[in-house]
Chain A
């Protein structure tokens, strides 16, 4: 049993007058404690929606999500079930993830109280511990969010999530709003915390370079589906899905050689109207007939990796992890 498991998760958005749009169209993931799983994809792939569904901020329209064996139910009016409080989230925007009118010490203390993870009265000490854990001095507790930089605020948000003594944290683009220096600091912090506290981290990002550096395993998402999943280095050295290849080839190299990264033809289709068959086929340089008619399932490949591409059909091993019900 993994710490966080997603089975065939679909998340729909309803719009008046048109058929519901599947922002997430059947995703399965498993995350263990102490491991960092990177979820990469570009705008419109549904990764943020997936993140919200994983913690229960939005409901799923199909499929299931389990945290430590228990189903993750979407938030309603009542307080979140105590068993789920150990599944936490860190958001993208460090400027809106903290209450601007309260001191951060108060906010972290409130987090401890809410999650009932601290003995009454010992909160001050615990707040100081948490702040130090994320690399801030305890005196920071007396200041307001606007007195901190973006990188520091993100660390405070992490401290707040840690107050609940989580076993899994979902991070939705936590580094995107930060400058290079802050990115490096927070990325290092996350790796350290995962090891130190045996935390499972689901790190959602569009920045492949950082994910490569930080994650143990990477899943690539396109238009609501996972197209490839593998250990980080295996994905980088030998991507199996054309979209993964395109992403990797599009990353510029800071090596002074004037290497021009490759672009990708076409535009991301409207999720309300996905292409038939393989969702990537209109933009794929290797597409052939089958790609337009049948949507490839995530095929299991040698080396504990998966890819959803008909080109890989020959190498597929064993039972396929996810059969595609609807093309």
Chain B
């Protein structure tokens, strides 16, 4: 196995609240390999986004981050803020659910892309424009030269997301983090973005960290998937392992809640209850109050994340679906 591009160990994130600090990410490990799409799945509030924001140094003031995040031979979490931001902007780029988070509504696309490129790579204006055109062509924006002069509002949602991705790729990052990149898009547009990410990974050697609650999208392009629940990883493995051979009751629950082609017209199975808030975490296994397979031990002991098969990890004491 080659050396991972990003190696996160023991990540812990605490956010300040009215009543002390709440732990939103509690001891998370993961490794992103080169040219791999690494999927981080979970519902809102599971800590999936926070874990990435912590590595990039984008958390609000007062947040406490512990653990290690090895990238390019350095621990990002030990770097001073300015250095971390420099790396974060250049080597690890991020796109969000709303492309307008990355795009300025008042500046034309050319301006935004060129500024980005010139700032980080120090190119001349002419070189930057060329690069900007290349990037737009890479993400399949029709008429890249013309697009440079237009404003974000003149593009559709799907196009804006492509432009945001182009902007993220401007400095040739090693990792592209996509946080719910397709959630707000129509299904045909979503398919386009999913295919784009897949192509970028194959052609540009890019690694992608894909954060989403949509297991369908995950299943399309992720090589490895980690399932987050209440700040912890409960299951992790290859796409086939996690989706076809899911062993954690929560993962199973998520998959069962999806409309199944085979089971039309039967009621959708929903996981009872709701995810716990970080300030009121259950003891022991955090999923146990909602779990149909819980035992007495589940309430007392925290299940560690252990290997149950080759590269398939599970955090469950009961393991009811063991093959």
Do A and B interact? yes
CB distance from A179 to the nearest CB of B (A): 6
Give complex CA distance A206, B158 in Å.
15
- B interface: dominant SS: helix
- Contact yes or no, B216 A213, CB < 8 A: no
Closest B residue to A40 by CB, please name it: B187
Of A21-29, A98-106, A243-251, the stretch lying at the interface with chain B is A243-251
**Option from A180, A206, A236, A249 in Cβ contact (under 8 Å) with B257:** A180
The reply to whether B268 and A250 contact each other, CB–CB distance below 8 Å, is no
Residues of B within 8 A of A43 (CB): 157, 186
Whether A264 is near chain B, meaning CB under 8 Å from some CB there, is: yes
Query: Does A181 belong to the interface (CB within 8 Å)?
Result: yes
* Distance A149 CA – B275 CA, assembled complex (angstroms): 12
Asked whether, in the complex, the Cβ of A210 is within 8 Å of the Cβ of B259, the reply is yes
**Do A260 and B43 touch (CB < 8 A)?**
no
Q: How far is the CA of A267 from the CA of B268 in the complex (A)?
A: 33
The answer for the CA separation of A138 and B220 in the assembled complex, in Å, is 43
Cross-chain contact A264 with B268 (CB below 8 angstroms)? no
Interface contact A206-B186, CB-CB below 8 Å:
yes
B65-101 to A contact mask, C-beta < 8 Å, 1/0: 0000000000000000000000000000000000000
Min C-beta distance of A204 to chain B, whole Å: 14
Given contacts A254-B218, A254-B243, A268-B156, contact A262 B191 (CB under 8 A): yes
Set of chain A residues within 8 Å of B217, measured between Cβ atoms: 252
| Contacting residues of chain B (235-267) with chain A, CB-CB under 8 angstroms | 239-240, 242-244, 254-255, 257-261, 264-265, 267
Complexed CA–CA distance, A198 and B189 (Å): 37
CB atoms of B219 and A247 under 8 A apart: no
Question: Complex Cα distance A259/B244, Å?
Answer: 13
Chain B's nearest CB lies how many Å from the CB of A183? 8
Contact-residue bracket for chain B? 35 or more
Is there a chain B Cβ closer than 8 Å to A208's Cβ? yes
Residues of the A chain whose Cβ atoms lie less than 8 Å from the Cβ of B219: 252-259
A213 & B265 in contact (Cβ 8 Å cutoff): yes
Q: Does A263 contact B (CB under 8 A)?
A: yes
Determine if B195 and A212 form an interchain contact, defined as CB atoms under 8 angstroms apart. Answer: no
Render B192-210 as a binary contact track against A, CB cut-off 8 A, 1 for contact. 1011001000000000000
Best-buried of B188, B192, B216, B219 by chain A (most CB within 10 Å): B188
Per the CB 8 Å criterion, the residue count for chain A at the interface is: 43
A261 within 8 A of B: yes
Determine how close the nearest CB of chain B comes to the CB of A219; give it in whole angstroms.
16
Residues from chain A with Cβ under 8 Å of B107 in the complex:
none
Interface: B124 (CB within 8 A): no
Residue of chain B at shortest CB distance from A259: B220
Check if B195 sits within 8 Å of A188, measured CB to CB.
no
Task: Give Cα A176–Cα B157 distance, bound, in whole angstroms.
Answer: 17
The reply to whether the CB of A209 lies closer than 8 angstroms to some CB of chain B is yes
- Mark each residue of chain A from 158 to 202: 1 if its CB lies under 8 Å from any CB of chain B, else 0: 000000000000000000000111111101100100000000000
Q: How far is the CB of A232 from chain B (nearest CB, A)?
A: 7
**Could you tell me if B43 and A180 are in contact, using CB atoms closer than 8 angstroms?**
yes
Q: Would you list which residues of chain B between 1 and 39 have a CB under 8 Å from chain A?
A: none
**Cβ-defined contact, A213 with B198, below 8 A:** no
* A322 in the interface (beta carbon within 8 A): no
Flag if B195 contacts A250 (CB, 8 Å). Answer: no
Decide if B44 touches A179 in the complex (CB within 8 Å).
yes
A261 with B268, Cβ < 8 A, contacts A179-B213, A181-B43, A251-B187 known: no
- Decide yes or no whether A68 CB sits under 8 A from chain B: no
Asked whether B221 is an interface residue with its Cβ less than 8 Å from the other chain, the reply is: yes
B270 interface contact, C-beta 8 A: yes
B195→A260 contact, CB < 8 A: yes
Contact A179 B43 (CB under 8 A): yes
Residues of B within 8 A of A249 (CB): 191
Interface string of B97-116 (1 = CB under 8 A from A): 00000000000000000000
Known contacts A252-B214, A260-B198; A187/B191 CB under 8 A: no
B317 sits at the interface (CB 8 A): no
Contact across chains for B259 and A252 when beta carbons are under 8 A apart = no
Bound Cα distance from A268 to B189, whole angstroms: 10
Q: List 24 A-B contacts (CB under 8 A).
A: A42-B186, A42-B188, A42-B189, A184-B268, A184-B269, A191-B267, A206-B187, A213-B265, A213-B268, A250-B187, A252-B214, A252-B216, A252-B217, A254-B216, A256-B244, A257-B240, A258-B220, A260-B220, A261-B195, A262-B191, A263-B189, A263-B192, A263-B195, A264-B192
Given pairs A210-B259, A213-B260, A254-B255, 5 additional interface contacts (CB within 8 A): A184-B257, A252-B214, A252-B220, A258-B220, A261-B195
A interface residue numbers (CB < 8 A to B): 42-43, 149, 179-185, 187-188, 191, 206-210, 212-213, 232-233, 236, 246-247, 249-264, 267-268
